[in-house]
Structure 1
Amino acid sequence: MKQFLKRLREPSTWAGISALGLIFGLPPGTVDLAGQVIAGVAGLVAVLAPEKAQS
């Protein structure tokens, strides 16, 4: 999960998601909305997920 969240922070990931969405025929506004929703969910998970205890 940590690796997934790390990837979601990278601009190249969002560029790739947008390109795939456009290739599959989604309108640009829909692709942008999907990206915002995914980023919001990832942000919420980052806020709510507990950090590992340091030893």
Structure 2
Amino acid sequence: MKFLQRLREPSTMAGLSGLAVIVGANPTKVNAVSAAIAAVLSALAVFLPEQSKGE
């Protein structure tokens, strides 16, 4: 779940988008894919239970 938490951070999304553009991806498509991924991860955040740290 730590991986999903990192993916939801805006800096991670910006970094991945920047890397994709550097390797030749179309910036418009990168933005669309990033928005779709953010939407899916946001939906997961709503439905997945939070984990307590002491249990």
Q: TM-score, normalised by structure 1?
A: 0.73
| Aligned partner of residue 25 in structure 1, secondary structure | coil
- Identity in percent: 46
Report matched runs for 1:10-49 at 5 Å.
Answer: 10-49=9-48
- What is the CA RMSD across the aligned residues, in angstroms? 2.0
CA shift in 2, pair 1:15/1:51, >3 Å: closer
Total equivalences in the alignment: 54
Tell me, in whole angstroms, the C-alpha distance in 1 between the residues paired with 2:8 and 2:45: 11
1:10 counterpart letter in structure 2: E
1:37 is displaced (CA, Å) by: 0.8
Q: Which runs of 5+ in 1 are unaligned?
A: none
Q: Which runs of 5+ in 2 are unaligned?
A: none
